[in-house]
Amino acid sequence: MSNLNNALKSGLCLAILGLGSVACQTSQEEGKLESSDEFLASLDSQEEEPAGFEVDEPASTTDQAVEDFAIEENYESFDPADIRIKFEFDSAALTADNTAALDKIVAGLKKDPLAKIFVRGHADKQGPEDYNEHLSEKRAKVIFDYLTSHGIDEQRLIRVHLGESEPLVDGNNVAAFRKNRRGDFHLDYSDGAFSR
C-alpha cells in the first residue's frame, strides 16, 4: 500500500478506475497504462525514485516546549452579562458604584484570560436620536477606557454604542429611562474570539 501511496504522491497514477483499481503510467509511452498490481510490482523492482521526483524525508521530532492551552480543573469562565453600569441623565461620568462594578469586570477578565467581551453603551429615548447615539458612544468609551487603564488588553474588548435602539425595559417614565441609560457587557462568541 505504501508503494501505491508513493505512486499517488509522485503523480505517476493518472486515473482511478472503479472499486479500488488504479491505472498508472509506467513508461514514457503516451497512453500506456497498467493495472495497480502490475504497477506496484514494477515499483518494487525499482531501487531508485523515478527521475525528476524527490521524496520528502519525514519531519524529525524536537524537544521544543509547546505552550499548554489546557483548561485547569477548577477553571470557570467569566460571564459579565449580569453587570450593568448605570448613568445619570445626560451623563457619561462614572460614579463610585460604577467603578466598583467595573472592578468586578477587571477581576473577572484577569481570571479568565480567554474571555473577550462587548462593551455596550446605551441611552434612554429622551432627546433627539442622534444625540442619544453620541451619548451612548461616550458611555461605551468611558467604560472601555476604565477597563484598559486597569490592565485589560483592548484586543479583548469590542466597543459598541447602541443609542436608544435596545432598551432594557419599555416605557415613557422615569423608572424606564433610569434603567435604559446604561452600559452592559456580553461575551464575544464570534469566530476567532478565543484565539490568542
- Per residue in 73-96, pLDDT (tens digit) is 666 678 898 999 999 999 999 999
Task: Identify which of 105, 132, 128, 131 has the alpha carbon closest to the alpha carbon of residue 118.
Answer: 105
For the chain, what are the domain ranges? 2-45, 80-187
12 has pLDDT over 70: no
30 has pLDDT over 80: no
Q: Which residues contact 83 (CB under 8 A, 6 or more apart)?
A: 101, 104, 105, 184, 185
Q: 29-50 as b/e, with b when 16 or more CB fall inside 10 Å? A: eeeebbebeebbeebeeeeeee
- Per residue in 101-136, pLDDT (tens digit) is 999 999 999 998 888 999 999 999 999 999 999 999
C-alpha distances (whole Å) from 68 to each of 5, 41, 65, 113, 153 are 34, 47, 9, 14, 21
Return the CATH superfamily for domain 80-187: OmpA-like domain (3.30.1330.60)
The pTM of the full predicted model, rounded to 2 decimals, is 0.61
